[in-house]
A and B are shown apart, each in its own frame.
Chain A
Amino acid sequence: DAGVIQSPRHEVTEMGQEVTLRCKPISGHNSLFWYRQTMMRGLELLIYFNNNVPIDDSGMPEDRFSAKMPNASFSTLKIQPSEPRDSAVYFCASSLQTSGRETQYFGPGTRLLVL
């Protein structure tokens, strides 16, 4: 299996622009997670989906952030408009949620820099 795939790997944009991050989870996994990692705040859970349905989006910082999962093999995280404080590494992770003991597998991350 190719693992969790994220694109782009790097993104540099200007403040005010729209940014779309993409994720393809591991085939067969039914849960997908979006995280943001910064030096100051560490690894933060933004939102997670189970069977394509958003379960908890309490970590989404504000209305500028939105996430969708139109099918089991694809998810997007959109920031509109972007701000310099959004600069971070964004990770997508997936798991097969069955007994509550599931392991999350992380993608390589997208390094976002907002100028």
Chain B
Amino acid sequence: QKEVEQNSGPLSVPEGAIASLNCTYSDRVSQSFFWYRQYSGKSPELIMSIYSNGDKEDGRFTAQLNKASQYVSLLIRDSQPSDSATYLCAVTGNNDMRFGAGTRLTVKP
């Protein structure tokens, strides 16, 4: 079983819709959770971090964490074509960070 799992997609949503990205992890001692966005040919850039159970909102982005279910998600409201990218879920524990394979999101105008 992979340590961090994501649906590879592609996930396609129309402009203005809500995009929902999901991630599960296997290590129960995981402490911190991150969502990175990676445009094609670019490096990953941090969008959100979340450390406690519940929701964390930042603009159009909401991260949700459920440690009991070992599940973290990212919601993007009012999706824009500029949101089209690959979204990487990352989990830290034991002093390192493990990434999921990423979900490719396409927002169609």
Which residues on A are within 8 Å of B, measured CB to CB?
33, 35, 42-43, 45, 48, 50, 55-56, 91, 97, 100-109
Contacts and interface: CB of A to CB of B under 8 A. Distances in A.
A109 B43 contact: yes
A45 B34 CA distance: 16
A45 B100 CA distance: 11
A59 to B, nearest CB: 9
B100 A100 contact: no
A100 B92 contact: yes
Contact of B31 (A45, A101, A109): A101
Contacts of A55: 95-96
B74 to A, nearest CB: 16
Interface of B: 31-32, 34, 42-46, 49, 51, 88, 90, 92, 95-102
Closest 6 CB pairs of A and B: A106-B43, A42-B101, A43-B99, A101-B32, A106-B44, A100-B31
Contact of A101 (B45, B49, B100): B49
Nearest to A106: B43
A56 B95 CA distance: 9
B44 A43 contact: yes
A13 B90 CA distance: 32
B46 A103 contact: yes
B46 A56 contact: no
A97 B97 CA distance: 12
Contact of A48 (B49, B96, B101): B96
Contacts of B92: 100-102
Contact of A33 (B42, B43, B97): B97
B34 A106 contact: no
Contacts of B42: 108
Contacts of B51: 101
A25 B69 CA distance: 35
A109 B92 CA distance: 21
A91 B95 contact: no
Contacts of B88: 43
Nearest to B31: A100
